[in-house]
Structure 1
Amino acid sequence: MKLIDRHCSHGAPELDPAALEAHLAALPDWRLVGNRIEREYAFTDYHETIGFVDALAAMIHEQDHHPELRVRYRHCLVAFTTHSAGNAVSMNDFICAAKADAIYEERRA
């Protein structure tokens, strides 16, 4: 099943290094930074940035897995980590990353 078709689950464990590497290869715009994965999205203006943040907020509320966001005029940095997995990266982070990418692509089309 594709990441985008999955749903976050409570108690998701930390991913092992091989799984982490495989999922990062599948989502090449994301990078591992410390104990989280992150991606910066670019937009044409603040209105477009906030539209993305609003769409992202609906998805993360549905998934009950909330990222750290840094919103600027034409950029939004999204970072995921799983607190219940000891502040490490879990499958939930990659599920939400794939869904965030889909939101971004849909809004750019």
Structure 2
Amino acid sequence: MSLLDHHSVHGAPALDAGDRPALLAQVPGWQAIDGTIAREFTFRDYRETIAFVNAVAWLAEGENHHPDLTVGYRRCLVAYTTHSAGNALSMNDFICAAKVDALYAQRTGA
């Protein structure tokens, strides 16, 4: 079953370190950095960047799992961690990363 087939759950526990590599392999382009997974997305212009940011915001509200976003003119860095799991990675982070990838692909054809 794909990560896209799952939804975030409230109170998701932190993942064991051994579970992370297989999940990270399912979200190419994302990197594990200091208890987060993060990926930078690039766009043609600011308007496309902001449209993506708004789409990620809607996704985050629907999943009740919110990333940190760093927005620039033609780029957006998306970073996930699970605060309720002690700022560690949970399955929610990987589910949402996969869904953000799908949004990006849909918007850019990438």
Q: What are the residue-to-residue correspondences of 1:47-62 with 2, within 5 Å?
A: 47-62=47-62
Structure 2 alignment gaps of length 5 or more: none
Partner of 1:13, secondary structure, is: coil
Aligned residues: 109
Q: Which amino acid aligns with 2:74?
A: R
Partner of 1:27, secondary structure, is: coil
TM-aligned CA deviation for residue 13 of structure 1? 0.7
For 1:22 and 1:52, locate their aligned partners in 2 and report how far apart those are by CA, in whole Å.
27
RMSD of aligned C-alpha atoms?
Answer: 0.7
Aligned to 1:78: 78
Identity %: 56
Partner of 1:32, secondary structure, is: strand
TM-aligned CA deviation for residue 59 of structure 1? 0.6
Q: Which amino acid aligns with 1:44?
A: R
Of residues 86-95 and 22-31 in structure 1, the stretch that sits farther from structure 2 once superposed is 22-31
Q: Which amino acid aligns with 2:16?
A: D
Aligned to 2:101: 101
Aligned to 1:91: 91
TM-aligned CA deviation for residue 5 of structure 1? 1.4
Establish whether residue 5 from structure 1 lines up as the match of residue 18 from structure 2. no
Partner of 2:96, secondary structure, is: helix
For 2:58 and 2:50, locate their aligned partners in 1 and report how far apart those are by CA, in whole Å.
13
Query: What's the TM-score, normalizing by structure 1?
Result: 0.97
For 1:68 and 1:55, locate their aligned partners in 2 and report how far apart those are by CA, in whole Å.
14
For 1:51 and 1:5, locate their aligned partners in 2 and report how far apart those are by CA, in whole Å.
24
Structure 1 alignment gaps of length 5 or more: none
